[in-house]
Structure 1
Amino acid sequence: MTFQALLVSKDEQATHLLTLALAGFGMAVHSCGYPDGVCQLAEQKFDCVLVDYDDPHSAALILQNAEQAAIKPVTVALLHDQSDVRGVFGAGANFVLYKPISELQAESTLRAATALARRERRRAFRVPVQLPVEIRTANGTDIEGILLDLSEDGLDVLSSQPLYRSAAITAVFCLPDQENSIELRGEVAWANPNGECGMRFIDLPSPTRQFLKTWVQANSPVLPPDEPEPVSQ
């Protein structure tokens, strides 16, 4: 199971060091600038997001978009000025790395960050499943789709029409070995032009959430380990 990290920075030295460190913890790294980072978060899922605060406004926007993702990634901010740390944590960062970043600092912080990412992946683990699904939009339109995977917090779907981020939708489908359909309300957390999107559930009744949790646990393949195991260099 591959874990994905998004690294948003213009600092080539920091990017090189962090890419090597993340690879050692089993993370595939996608590196880009700020505008591309926002697009990547809207179209893909990441377990960990690292953002350089050399441009505070753009970095805060990256953290905001990460916070709104269907499965919230673990976030790491890269800082020059330690006096900014309170505001960065307030913006949603889980960890901070101070620049210039040393190998020891990177290894220590990323060990903790990747361990947290794996625990979050376990909590929101999605079971691959292909089933017909009916998607109801807020304006009353019904759209046909295919359910791709399911967790207790959300799902991925391929719809016959593209959906848009933050759109309120309801998904209706029937799981294998179940007689009755299940109806889940939520919002689109990410979407791409080909119709694939991620839905984050909203206000699930406790019995429904418990049912989903039980179903996911019963139908999951091998879950990711609790702690990352560094890959030998």
Structure 2
Amino acid sequence: MQMQALVVTADQWLSSLFGKASTEIGMEAQIIGDAELALNEVSRSKYDTVVLDFDTVSEPSQVLGVVRSSRSNRSAVIFAVATDNAHKKTASQYGANFLLHRPIDIAQVRRGLAAAKGFMLGERRRYFRCAVELVVLLARSDSERVQCTSMNISSSGMGIKTATALTPGERLNASCMLPGGVNFGAIVRVIWDDRHGKSGLHFDSVPPDLQSKLETWLDSQFYAERISTPLRQRT
């Protein structure tokens, strides 16, 4: 999934700079010129980075506060464009990661996004769920065996499809073979079951060597997806 940037500014020049630089690194930029619209956007969508122009947008600190308190956006990288000292102080107090001031050119924006990209990718990787269908075997405490199919897998759990109803809170032994021939096993806990053939499992206990192998495989899948998205040529 493409990384997302929210640019909140009434300055067309600034929006064009961030739009161009974002596209160059494979990021999609949403441009909004009004704080109220930005608040609505932050409440319903997830962004990897938010650019707030303190010089041209009213109540930017309110937007920044909502971003930092939002469950889905609190870890977003914040760029604050603040030219006067009062705005700079406010932006810093509210947790802006990068401070820029006018005059701004494309080189500054490129450097800022390049510096932030590693952190943004790290956050994406942390919550990455790889869509994959694997045969998963579950063993219940009464020794009943349940065969099911994974829908996705992450560092901390997996979603499965199963014809057998599972009970939230139930603990089971789970095993499967990851692509590449790695036998994976964990003690899992049922987080949810929709009673329509889908359940969510949390990995309660995984041997360290298997957790490491899982992380390595997830890394390969995560970064393969990013490599497959071509970057735009600079002009």
TM-score, normalised on structure 2? 0.59
Distance (Å, rounded) in 2 between the aligned partners of 1:36 and 1:24: 26
Q: Secondary structure at the match of 2:17?
A: helix
Matched, 1:127 2:140: no
Count of residue pairs the alignment pairs up: 184
**Greater RCO, CA 8 A, separation 6+:** 1
**Given the superposition, is the C-alpha separation of residues 12 and 120 from structure 1 closer, same or farther in structure 2, using an over 3 Å criterion?**
same
Distance 1:66 1:172, change over 3 A: farther
Give the structure 2 partner of residue 182 of structure 1. Answer: 189
Instruction: Tell me the distance in 2 between the aligned counterparts of 1:20 and 1:215.
Output: 36
The alpha carbon displacement at 1:150 in A equals 6.3
Show structure 1 runs of 5+ residues with no match: 131-146, 157-169, 186-203
Task: Report SS of the residue matched to 2:4.
Answer: strand
Between the aligned partners of 2:127 and 2:40, the Cα distance in structure 1 is 23
CA distance in 1, matches of 2:153, 2:49: 20
The 5 A counterparts of 1:85-164 are 85-128=88-131, 151=154
Residues 231 and 116 from structure 1, CA distance in 2 versus in 1: closer, same or farther, beyond 3 angstroms? farther
| Residue correspondence of structure 1 range 76-87 to structure 2 within 5 A | 76-87=79-90
TM-align CA RMSD = 4.2
Q: Is the 8 A contact 1:34 1:59 kept in 2?
A: yes
SS at match of 1:100: coil
Structure 2 distance, partners of 1:58, 1:117, is 26
Does the C-alpha gap of structure 1 residues 176 and 90 become closer, same or farther in structure 2, counting only changes over 3 Å? farther
What is the DSSP-based 3-state SS (H/G/I as helix, E as strand, rest coil) of the residue aligned with 2:95? coil
For residue 60 of structure 2, what is the aligned residue in structure 1?
59
SS in 1 for 2:51: strand
| 2:8–2:57 contact (8 Å) kept in structure 1 | no
TM-superposed CA distance for 1:104, in Å, is 2.5
Change in CA separation of 1:230 and 1:214 when aligned onto 2, cut-off 3 Å: same
Q: Distance in 2 between the 1:30 and 1:82 partners?
A: 27
List structure 1 segments (4+ residues) > 4 angstroms apart after TM superposition: 147-156, 170-181, 204-208, 210-220
Q: Which secondary structure state, in structure 2, belongs to the residue aligned with residue 222 of structure 1?
A: helix
How far apart are 1:230 and its partner, in Å? 7.1
Contact 1:77–1:88, Cα closer than 8 Å, also in 2: yes
Q: CA deviation at 1:78?
A: 1.1
- The verdict on how the C-alpha distance between 1:123 and 1:37 changes in structure 2, with shifts beyond 3 A counting, is same
Task: Indicate the SS of the match to 1:29.
Answer: strand
What does 1:200-219 correspond to in 2, within 5 Å? 218-219=217-218
Per-residue deviation, 1:65? 2.7
Shift of the alpha carbon at 1:61? 2.4
Alignment partners' CA distance in 2, 1:35 and 1:97: 23
Question: Structure 2: any 5+ residue segments left out of the alignment?
Answer: 134-149, 160-167, 177-184, 193-201
Return closer, same or farther for 1:56/1:37 CA change in 2, 3 Å cut-off: closer
Which residue in 2 is equivalent to 1:142? none
Closer, same or farther: CA 122–84 of 1 in aligned 2, 3 Å: same
**Normalization by structure 1: what TM-score?**
0.59
| 1:201 aligned partner | none
Query: In structure 2, do the counterparts of structure 1 residues 97 and 126 end up closer, same or farther at CA, with 3 Å as the change threshold?
Result: farther
Q: Call closer, same or farther: CA 1:118–1:82 in 2, change over 3 Å.
A: farther
Answering whether residue 21 of structure 2 is matched by residue 48 of structure 1, we say no
